[in-house]
Chain A
Amino acid sequence: MPESDNKQRQVHRMSDGLLLSMRGINKTFPGVRALSNVDFSLRGGEIHALMGENGAGKSTLIKVLTGVYGLESGEIRMDSIGHPIVNRSPQEAQANGISTVYQEVNLCPNLTVAENLFIGRQPKKCGLIDWKTINQKSANILKNLDISAEPKKPLGDCSLAIQQMIAIARAVDMQCRVLILDEPTSSLDDEEVAKLFTLMKKLRDEGVGIIFVTHFLEQVYEVCDRITVLRNGELVGEYEIETLPRVKLVAKMLGKDFDDLADIKSGRQGSEKPAERVIEARGLTHAGTIKPFNLTINKGEVIGLTGLLGSGRSELVRTIYGADRPTGGTLKVKGKAVTITKPLDAMKNGMAYLPEDRKKDGIISDLSVKENIILALQAKRGLFHLMSRKEMDEAADRFIDLLEIKTPDREKPVGSLSGGNQQKVILGRWLLTNPDYLILDEPTRGIDIGTKMEIQKLVLKMADEGKTITFISSEIDEMLRTCSHIAVLRDGKMVGELTGEELTQAYIMQTIAGNHPGKAAVETADEEGGANV
């Protein structure tokens, strides 16, 4: 466990201009310590970045603060309230002056801008909704915050950025003093981000305390005053922005595990490159989801697929695997032309697919761990070749051991396991079929950080053993650690394949965004952070 930088911790005193102070917050989920003894403080009139990798505990902390999760232990204080507060629901948090605007806007797109601003608290006249006042007040609010939106227009007609700003405006108008912005910029373009930042700065100057959760380092340095870093559910430290350069921030977020993995990978790259082509797709396509693409993957290679949500990452692999029936193009597996129309065809050609949506496409929740593990192999063998009970038990026990699946026994329903262990069960299911080519679509999403590392290491190990792997993740860091090259998709189209020098966070992000910077920009990209606006 990484030790906290105690020197950097601030002493908490409510008189210190602090708006909000959280102390000694703990939160445990079955099998996971999501937060342990975390402190967090927010001043009035500051933008405070909450940083950490996925699974670091950022969203858990936010959810504890806003009453989505109950407070297990610890203390939350607001300067305006004399006693510690406990928010049992987001409504209570709102009443205490804490509002959240999520990545996906929680408003009604079919209602007008004004209706959305006043939904649930409509001014009334003679028991009827006073539309005139609503529209007037809305116009004022929008004007004050410089949001260019028409009150009577349906919200759905506004751009995502405007929708987000309207959500913020609603929060501000409801007397919020602490505004939490959870990944607000992830689906905005540069211009929209700039607008949002202007609004954030305006609110800051009015004394609102803003907690800003984001993945984009460069945005942090653009608007934030202070940074709190979490890792593994623990507080790493709280820093003034000037005292923490980007590289240090990254190191703090990743911890020492970063070096470990970097070592593993560099060792790997030293080994000689095998050239046997396992997958060769030529013009493969599934009408409506993925435009024709060419892709060649060699034996023992880990290729990453990245792009924004909906860019076609999952659709591309689904087409290879036959989960979506290809509508054109050809596919060769180990040099042999094959026709794959359904998953079983792909399985018979040595493929395995760990789907993105574990609940929907992965686990069979009521079946036991054992049944879930043997299912793919059994399906491959066919209806009339039932595996013997002994064979099943052995297979299940083997992978429970190998992958360290935490389950009381193999007969436990897989649905009762934690997310990470469910994911391991599905991995075990596919490893049992001894595939040549594994497709891992977001294998580490929503699972605890320990398991995440284990899975990343396992991926590298499997590649060393000669398995070919396609790795999809929305965390670029994770892909940089595991992949030898990365294909980038945008709007259902493969727009680039990056290798070697190009494999940096900045370059990848710029390729995703559609900017191709020169080599020189790449050299310093690690220092500079993400895509420049």
Chain B
Amino acid sequence: MNTKTGLDWKKLAHSRFLMPIVCLLLVLLVNVIQTPNFFAISINNGVLYGYLIDIINRASELVILAVGMTLVTAASGGQDISVGAVMAVAAGICCQILSGGAVSTNQLMAPMFIAILAALAASALCGAFNGFLVSVLGIQPMVATLILFTAGRGIAQLVTKGQITYVRVDSYKVMGGYIDACLIPTPVFIAIGVVIVVNLILKKTALGLYIESVGINGSASRMVGLNSTRIKFLAYVILGLLSGVAGVVASSRIYSADANNIGLNLEMDAILAVALGGNSLGGGKFNLMGSVIGAYTIQALTTTLYAMKVSADQLPVYKAIVVIIIVVLQSPTFQKKVRTIRHGKAVAVNAG
């Protein structure tokens, strides 16, 4: 028994969850000192209210993107920087179908599921386009996705005819708001749902193993009969699809499709979430939950800074400083140092 518990502790200490969680706790710790009421949760107007709830709610889109970004990173050793733009495309298509082409509507002009399905199909198509460029044509992921990064918002503008399309219907606000009398915001459920579904896929199929294998050594993977091209392609399609989900949620929050602002700069946060999660941006082995924690960390950071009354235009500076600290904490050199220190201690403890 003794050895067993010892092993478990060791496993936890060496687990790749450790650093992401430590980072998240660090950010939260700052709040305990700086903003005493940070963890207060109250019920206002029949819904939960508080900074924590705000973090979990606002992080939803980022969590959804981070899940997909993790797979793309692992499989292709590169990142998709078009996800924010793809969100805008999905939002535009969804709202445009719902409004029947009008700038603003007070009633749904088409069934909601058709609009959402069309939005998701379009975003999956964007993912497929990226995937084709990367896996079939062998273009660098960053360069390949730069195309949609630039063109995506233009496409969204075309779809919405250069307007911000409003869908002022309560049923459309549900995805970004609340289900009836539910205390918890809907995006939280959607994000958790996405995490669960993707986790299930990874658990029940060999996709996770295939992605890691292809990401670590594409050539060797081919020799054992894996189709590297198809697996990379699939990862991009999944990310495209998830970008669509995030886009619809974001659009539902503001019940409109703002082609210029939906998902703006979110691609960078998504990539950062993957990195914070302890994943190598060079691909290979991945840790999905790490990325999810990373996404919440980023949102916690943003909310923390707001709570500390940092103005929106100064925010990036502080964010950058914190990011530097976190990234250094996770750097291999630093970790090696920590490990040797920890190892020394462990030896001392065992001896004692």
Contacts and interface: CB of A to CB of B under 8 A. Distances in A.
Interface stretch (A52-60, A207-215, A380-388): A380-388
Nearest to B208: A386
B220 A380 contact: no
A362 B221 contact: no
A366 B209 CA distance: 12
Contact of A361 (B210, B216, B223): B223
Interface in A311-361: 323, 342-344, 347, 353, 355, 360-361
Given A378-B206, A378-B209, A384-B205, A353 B216 contact: no
Contacts of A344: 225-227
Contacts of A177: none
Contacts of B223: 323, 343, 353, 355, 361-362
Interface residues of B, number: 21
Contacts of B125: none
A367 interface: yes
A355 B222 CA distance: 11
A343 B225 CA distance: 5
Contacts of A365: 216-217
A439 to B, nearest CB: 11
A309 interface: no
Contact of A383 (B210, B216, B221, B224): B210
Could you say which of A363, A367, A387 has the most chain B C-beta atoms within 10 Å of its C-beta?
A367
Contacts of A323: 222-223
Contacts of A362: 220, 223
A367 B224 contact: no
A382 B224 CA distance: 12
Contacts of A343: 222-225
A366 B285 contact: yes
Contact of A363 (B207, B210, B220, B225): B220
Contacts of B212: 364, 366-367, 371
Given A364-B217, A383-B205, A383-B206, A347 B285 contact: no
Interface in B105-159: none
Contacts, number: 77
Given A366-B212, A367-B216, A386-B206, A379 B285 contact: no
A343 B222 CA distance: 7
Contacts of A363: 217, 220
Nearest to A371: B209
B209 A375 contact: yes
A485 interface: no
Contacts of B213: 364, 367, 371, 375
B79 to A, nearest CB: 19
A320 to B, nearest CB: 13
Interface in A380-426: 380-387
Interface residues of A, number: 29
A355 B221 CA distance: 12
A384 B207 CA distance: 8
A429 interface: yes
Given A366-B285, A371-B209, A386-B205, A379 B225 contact: yes
Interface in B271-291: 284-285
Interface in B304-337: none
A362 B207 CA distance: 20
Nearest to B283: A366
A371 B210 CA distance: 10
B226 A379 contact: yes
Nearest to A323: B223
Contacts of A382: 206
A375 B208 CA distance: 12
Interface in B220-258: 220-227
B230 to A, nearest CB: 9
Nearest to B285: A366
A25 interface: no
B348 to A, nearest CB: 23
Contacts of A385: 206
Contacts of A378: 206, 209
12 contacts: A361-B220, A366-B284, A367-B216, A371-B209, A371-B212, A375-B209, A376-B224, A379-B206, A381-B206, A383-B206, A386-B206, A387-B206
Given A342-B227, A365-B216, A375-B226, 7 more contacts: A343-B224, A344-B226, A353-B223, A378-B206, A383-B207, A384-B206, A386-B206
Interface of B: 204-207, 209-210, 212-213, 216-217, 219-227, 284-285
5 nearest interchain CB pairs?
A: A344-B225, A379-B225, A376-B224, A386-B206, A347-B225
